[in-house]
Homo-oligomer: A and B are copies of this chain.
Amino acid sequence: MNSVSIAQKPFLAVLAGQTISPAPLWLMRQAGRYLPEYRALRAQSKNFLDFCFRPELAVEATLQPIRRYGLDAAILFSDILTVPWALGQKVEFLEGEGPKLEPLRSARDLDRLELAGMVERLSPVYRTVAGVSAVLPDKTALIGFAGAPWTVAAYMVEGHGSRDFLIAKSFGMAEPAAFRRLLDIVTQATIQHLFAQIEAGAEAVQLFDSWAGVLAETEFRQWVIEPTRVIAAALRARFPAIPLIGFPRGAGGMLASYALETKVGAVGLDTQVPLDWALQVLPRTLPVQGNLDPVALVVGGLALKDGVRRILDRTRGRPLIFNLGHGVPQTTPPEHVAELVRLVREG
C-alpha cells in the first residue's frame, strides 16, 4: 500500500486516519448464500472446503458482491477453519450443520499439529488473493483475514460451533499450559497466514474474534488481547503500511482495553455496541467499522433507513468504515443490500 492507493481507495484512506464522506462501506459475509449467483457457483463444488480451495471459484465468489454493488472493499472468500485444516486437523463442513473438527482434548492431541508446511498447504488461498488483486477495480481495496487465535482454538477444542464454548473454556482453565501452547501455535500460524495473504496482494487484514464475548475478563486478557497484541506487533514490524482491523465480537466492557492494549489499527464494532459510548471510550483518531444490525438489513424499509441514518449521524467527524455489526444473514433480500449502499452513499 502506498500513498497513491490510499488516495484512490476510500477504504484505505479511512484506515490511514482520514474522515471521508460518504463513508466507504463493505459488509461482513458480503459474498454468500443470500446471492443467487453465489448459490449457482457453489453448486459447482461438492463441499465447502473444496470450494474455498479452488481459486477459480473463490475468486469469483469474492468478486460477485463487488460487481453487483460496487462496494469499497472486497474480502477474500475463505473460512477461518482453513488454518486448523492446514495444521493437520480433520475439518469437515456438513451441509446445513456447520463445521465439524476432530476435537483436540489433551496436551497430547496438540502433537498432531504441524506448523511447518502450513503456508504451502494453503497456497490455493494465496492464489485466490492474487487472482482477485489482479482484476479488482482501482478504487476497491482487498481485505485478507483470519480468525483470531481464541476463536480458532475454541473450534479446534470444542470440535464444532457452540453457544458458550464450555468445553474449550474448560480445557483452557483446567490445562492452562497446554492451552497456551495451542494459542501460541495458532498465533504463529495466523501471522504466517496473514503475511502470505499480504504478499499475494491483500491491502488490509481483519482478525475475526467471533467468540470473544463468551470469555470473562481474565481469559479475555490472556486469550483475546495477548495473542492479538502479538499478531499486531508482528504485522507492524514486517508490513508497517498494512492496517489491521480487530473485530472482538461481544467485547462489551472490554472494548477500550482491547483497542488500546492490542494496538490494532482499527476496531470493528459488533451490533450490540452503543455508538456514543464506543466513540467516547475509544481514541478519537482510531478508525471504527460497523455496526448496523443485520436484522435491519433483512427487514429493510424504515428499519434500514433509520439504522443507517443513526450510524452516520453519530459518527460525524470520526473515521468510519460503514459495515454491519455481524455477517449478512442468508435470508437477506439482495435488493435490500442495494438500498443500503444507496443510503450510505447519500450520506
Contacts and interface: CB of A to CB of B under 8 A. Distances in A.
Q: Is the interface of A mostly helix, strand, loop or mixed?
A: helix
Interface string A243-282: 0000000111111010000000000000111110110010
Contacts of A7: none
A258 B250 CA distance: 17
A329 interface: yes
A250 B274 contact: no
B253 A296 contact: no
A216 B293 contact: yes
B299 A214 contact: no
B296 A213 contact: no
Greatest chain B CB density within 10 A among A257, A281, A299, A326 is at: A299
Contacts of A227: none
A253 B271 contact: no
Interface stretch (A76-84, A168-176, A185-193): A168-176
Contact of A272 (B215, B293, B329): B215
A218 B275 CA distance: 10
Nearest to A214: B272
Nearest to A215: B272
A175 to B, nearest CB: 10
A11 B250 CA distance: 31
Interface in A298-328: 298-299, 301, 303, 306-307, 310, 325-326
Contacts of A214: 271-272
A278 B216 CA distance: 13
A166 B329 contact: yes
Contacts of A303: 173-174
Contacts of A67: none
A163 interface: yes
A199 interface: no
Contacts of A273: 217, 252-253
A115 interface: no
16 contacts: A164-B326, A166-B295, A166-B331, A169-B295, A174-B301, A213-B213, A216-B271, A216-B291, A216-B293, A217-B272, A217-B275, A219-B293, A252-B272, A253-B277, A253-B278, A254-B277
